[in-house]
């Protein structure tokens, strides 16, 4: 039986500051996420960030937490369940880069079950060192730890998928539906930002995001919808330049250009999380409305929509 492991970033176990602290420690200690010199960054992380940020971030997580838990984890589990139904004969599991279940633990479980062919799908349509790159590093570390095993499974990582047809078509359909109820609206496609430093390969990442934007704009025109479509980048952390334009700056500027209605989507996110439910739904909505905007509508990510299974099945066929 082949195996499929889907991997997302992870979430605190709960909004409690101690759980948020553990998550932030593991996440922000990753040099692929924060590439500052270790001798400079680690004292700042442990002496300042991990003392001040857990309570503040915990309050934000509390606002978006559900009865089932973290939205990101809830939707990732549901995505796993969708795939298990859509892929009979496959052992489908999920893992998180920085929280449980870990990538190594799930690969161990596959190996212990005798699975010899494992596909690994990072749940990031666009490749970046801080997302898919970190996953690949953990996979390599696991392979090194099992180098003396008599039988080792074959691991295949499914690459970026910025223009996968079902992925593009689903976003175009949802955007067209939202635009039908918004007069003279523009579309903003918000992607997670990355630092504008070569170690983060920002130009390759931007090119993949722009490929998604171009494909969605083309799919909208094919559906008879012709409106401005912008790419923006969100979730800046720390000092230094990040990819521009920033989503929140765009939201503040659009009303001054005469835009009163905006439809926002997040093709870089396959599940709702704190970045969509708080940063966009609250902070960016407020920025748009305070600047004079009138209609703000966000198209949710794919989450547990059945199209997710079609997308992944196609990616497996072509991997």
Instruction: Determine the pLDDT at residue 99.
Output: 98
pLDDT, position 221: 98
Please check if 305 is assigned to a binding site: no
How much is the pLDDT for 156? 98
Q: What percent of the chain has pLDDT over 90?
A: 95
Residue 306: is it exposed, middle or buried by C-beta count within 10 angstroms (0-12/13-18/19+)? exposed
What are the boundaries of each domain within the chain? Answer: 165-298
**What pLDDT score was predicted for residue 177?**
97
pLDDT of residue 241 exceeding 90: yes
| Overall CATH class of domain 165-298 | alpha beta
Backbone angles phi, psi at 246, to 5 degrees: -75, 140
pLDDT computed for residue 296 by the predictor: 98
CA distance 122 to 94: 10
pLDDT of residue 181: 82
Residue of 240, 246, 257 whose CA lies nearest to 291: 257
Residue for token pair 């039988």 = 151
Mean pLDDT of 104-121: 97
pLDDT given at position 244: 98
Confidence of residue 319 (pLDDT cuts 50, 70, 90): confident
**pLDDT tens digits for range 166-206:** 999 999 999 999 999 888 999 999 999 999 999 899 999 99
Q: Give the CA angle between residues 112, 313, 159 to the nearest 5°.
A: 75
pLDDT greater than 90 at residue 81: yes
Dihedral angle sign, alpha carbons of residues 40, 136, 304, 187: positive
Confidence of residue 4 (pLDDT cuts 50, 70, 90): very high
Cα–Cα distance measured from residue 31 to residue 12, given in angstroms and rounded to the nearest whole number: 20
What's the whole-number mean pLDDT along residues 228-245? 96
Share of the chain above pLDDT 70, in %: 100
pLDDT > 90? residue 113: yes
pLDDT (0 to 100) of residue 182: 84
Segment 126-161, tens digit of pLDDT = 999 999 999 999 999 999 999 888 888 999 999 999
pLDDT of residue 69: 98
pLDDT of residue 13: 98
Tokens 């905007």 found at: 293
Rounded CA-CA distance 58/269 in Å is: 21
CB-count exposure of residue 201 (10 Å: 0-12, 13-18, 19+): middle
pLDDT score at 151: 85
Q: What is the mean pLDDT of the chain?
A: 97
Token pair in block for residue 49:
């960030």
Nearest to 85 by CA among 304, 272, 317, 273: 304
Where do we find the tokens 């915990």? 58
Work out whether the CA dihedral 173, 175, 176, 180 comes out positive or negative.
Answer: positive
User: Is residue 294 a known part of a binding site?
Assistant: no
pLDDT in tens, 206-226: 999 999 999 999 999 999 999
pLDDT computed for residue 239 by the predictor: 84
């Amino acid at each position: 039986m082949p195996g499929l492991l889907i991997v997302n970033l992870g979430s605190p176990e709960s909004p409690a500051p101690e759980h948020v602290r553990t998550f932030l420690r593991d996440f922000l200690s990753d040099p692929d996420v924060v590439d500052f010199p270790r001798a400079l960054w680690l004292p700042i992380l442990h002496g300042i960030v991990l003392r001040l940020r857990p309570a503040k971030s915990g309050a934000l997580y509390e606002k978006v937490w559900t009865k089932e838990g973290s939205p990101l984890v809830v939707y990732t589990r549901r995505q796993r369940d969708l795939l298990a139904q859509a892929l009979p004969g496959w052992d489908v599991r999920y893992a998180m880069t920085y929280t449980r279940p870990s990538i190594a633990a799930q690969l161990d479980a596959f190996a212990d079950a005798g699975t010899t062919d494992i596909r690994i799908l990072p749940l990031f349509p666009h490749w970046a060192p801080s997302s898919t790159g970190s996953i690949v590093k953990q996979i390599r570390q696991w392979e090194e730890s099992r180098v003396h095993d008599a039988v080792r499974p074959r691991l295949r990582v499914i690459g970026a998928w910025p223009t996968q047809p079902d992925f593009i078509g689903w976003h175009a359909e949802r955007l067209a539906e939202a635009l039908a109820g918004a007069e003279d609206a523009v579309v903003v496609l918000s992607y997670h930002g990355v630092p504008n430093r070569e170690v983060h390969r920002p130009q390759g990442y931007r090119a993949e995001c722009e490929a998604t934007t171009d494909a969605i704009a083309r799919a909208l025109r094919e559906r008879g919808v012709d409106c401005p479509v912008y790419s923006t980048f969100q979730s800046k952390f720390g000092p230094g330049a990040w990819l521009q334009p920033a989503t929140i700056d765009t939201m503040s500027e659009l009303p001054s250009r005469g835009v009163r209605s905006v439809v926002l989507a997040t093709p870089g996110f396959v599940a709702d999380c704190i970045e969509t439910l708080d940063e966009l739904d609250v902070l960016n909505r407020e920025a748009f409305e305070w600047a004079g905007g009138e209609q703000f509508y966000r198209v949710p990510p794919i989450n547990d929509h059945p199209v997710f299974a079609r997308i992944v099945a196609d990616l497996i066929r072509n991997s």
